[in-house]
Amino acid sequence: MPVVPHVLRHAVEQPSKLAVCGPGGELTYAELARKINGAARHLRDQGVGPSSLVAVGPADPVEFIATALAADLAGATPVVGDPSWSHERWSQVSGPAGPLTFLGESLPYAAGPEVRRKTGPDDLAWACFSSGSTGRPRAIVRRRASWTASFPHLSDLAGIGADDVVLVPGPLASSLYSFAAMHTLAAGATALVPGRPPTRAALASYVSRATVVHVVPGQLADMLGHPGSRLRAAVVGGAALDPGVRAAAARAGVHTLAYYGATELSFVAVDVDGDGLRPFPGVEIEVRPEPGSALGAVWVRSPWLAEGYLGGAAGPLRRDPDGWATVGDVAEPYRLGEVLRVRGRGDGAIQTGGATVVPEDVEAVLRQVPGVGDVVVVGSPHPSLGAVVTAVVEGVPSRALLEATARNGLDAAQRPRLWYAVPSLPRTPTGKPARALLAARLASGDPGIRRLN
């Protein structure tokens, strides 16, 4: 991860300060530094160093963080994936990125002197996965400064400092939550990392300790109103935030910082007071007109852009010769000084629990199921996740077979939660499935769309 120099400095300046706390244990900054040093020595003994890729796979969130930091200290690029992946799955998703050194549940340790490494802003210090065009995720790689140089801006905007205890209530394989954890450690604060969204019953315990929380919009309401809560700030990313929830947070004494961005772009715009999204520090924004549409494509130029995809994989990130980049999000026309009104992903991507799912990726896998003539995947509204992946299949397939195929070929965020069947899909004049029409019929409860049980 990009923050290993910060962690090592904090281990000297505040060794007994609690750095990270998870369901399986906790580590002070001194303990975390010793752990990552021992693992980094082991990795170097195995020949891991610059240009190496290390697969980070522990299910325990504290071990997950320590593993990623150890890979960085060894000079390698930590590649952050789903802890449920097997070695076989890792080999599939790595694709053209190259061979991976896999670190699973038990972090190796080698005795010896402190590992010393000179880090630089252009180090390839982090990579995570996003959905790929064939159902196989693609790895997005980021240089150190593209994260760490944005940290002071976030700290200033949200008022986060070394005295804070920051709750990160989601999977660290998600870039939203991994960024939150790494920013916390860079600030010298304490990260509470349950590794997954806490149950309602467990939330009271977490918010009685935490002063700041990083969430997706659907989670914020659940964080409010707990007796003994110490929360004073919430950083909200992933989708639009309901004004009523922001108002409820204000009544509870919680200042809300909402932001819009993408894994490939990092921060794009922030809303610090409920008056709308404006460019994050250092970011230039253009909304370029799209032929035949009242909306335009969002293009960004900033120091926070990702390097690209490992192994040259294809993805939605596009660049122009002047340093501008887009992932296909669309917005209303925009001028400098105005509020940015984002209207979603132009390719119909589904935002679910902080993850972005590209429908075509899921459809490509499900079309392989016997009995499926065609399939359309859309997002259905969900009160806490924002949306859930919903599949409407053409034909008379077995739900059990559909789910088995999804488990084998898709990652957890990509797997449909809701399944429906129709005799034939509505189509456009060119013969393509009419995705928008089908979504509208589904939302209206069309009796011609049958729920698969």
* Interval 192-246: pLDDT, tens: 999 988 988 899 999 999 999 999 887 898 899 999 999 999 999 866 787 888 9
Same-domain check for residues 307 and 391: no
- Give the residue ranges of DSSP H helices in 274-395: 359-366
* Residue 426's CATH number: 3.30.300.30
pLDDT at res. 243: 86
The average confidence (pLDDT) of the chain is 89
Same-domain check for residues 404 and 444: yes
- Which phi and psi angles does 309 have, rounded to 5°? -105, 135
Same-domain check for residues 232 and 147: yes
What would the pLDDT profile of 102-138 be if each residue is shown by its tens digit?
887 778 888 888 998 888 899 999 998 875 434 456 8
Q: Tell whether 126 is covered by a domain.
A: yes
Return d(Cα 369, Cα 99) in angstroms, integer.
Answer: 31
Percent helix, percent strand, percent coil in the chain, to nearest 5: 30, 30, 40
Q: Tell whether 345 is covered by a domain.
A: no
- Look at residues 300, 331, 362 and tell me which one is the last residue of a structural domain: 331
Q: Tell whether 371 is covered by a domain.
A: yes
Return d(Cα 114, Cα 40) in angstroms, integer.
Answer: 9
Same-domain check for residues 250 and 291: yes
* Residue 116's CATH number: 3.40.50.12780
Residue 232 burial (C-beta neighbours within 10 Å; 0-12, 13-18, 19+): middle
The SS3 of residue 227 is coil
Same-domain check for residues 136 and 232: yes
Domains in the chain, number: 2
Low-confidence ranges of the chain (pLDDT < 70): 1, 94-97, 131-137, 238-239, 292-293, 344-348, 428-432
- Look at residues 261, 296, 331 and tell me which one is the last residue of a structural domain: 331
Same-domain check for residues 150 and 268: yes
- Look at residues 285, 302, 331 and tell me which one is the last residue of a structural domain: 331
Q: Tell whether 339 is covered by a domain.
A: no
Q: Looking at 208-320, which runs of residues are DSSP E strands?
A: 212-215, 233-237, 255-262, 266-271, 278-279, 284-289, 296-301, 308-309, 318-319
Return d(Cα 292, Cα 118) in angstroms, integer.
Answer: 52
Q: What is the dihedral of CA 149, 302, 119, 94, to 10 degrees?
A: 120
pLDDT at res. 430: 41
pLDDT at res. 239: 61
Same-domain check for residues 303 and 433: no
Same-domain check for residues 405 and 313: no
Same-domain check for residues 132 and 253: yes
Same-domain check for residues 302 and 381: no
Q: Tell whether 338 is covered by a domain.
A: no
Q: Tell whether 35 is covered by a domain.
A: yes
Instruction: Give the long-range contacts of residues 439-447, CB within 8 A, separation 24 or more.
Output: 439/378, 442/378, 442/380, 442/390, 442/392, 443/380
- 0.85 cut: is pTM over it? no
Q: Tell whether 337 is covered by a domain.
A: no
Residue 52 is given by DSSP the state: -
Return d(Cα 297, Cα 318) in angstroms, integer.
Answer: 11
Return d(Cα 425, Cα 438) in angstroms, integer.
Answer: 8
Longest dimension (CA), the chain: 69
Name the residue range of residue 393's domain.
350-451
pLDDT at res. 133: 39
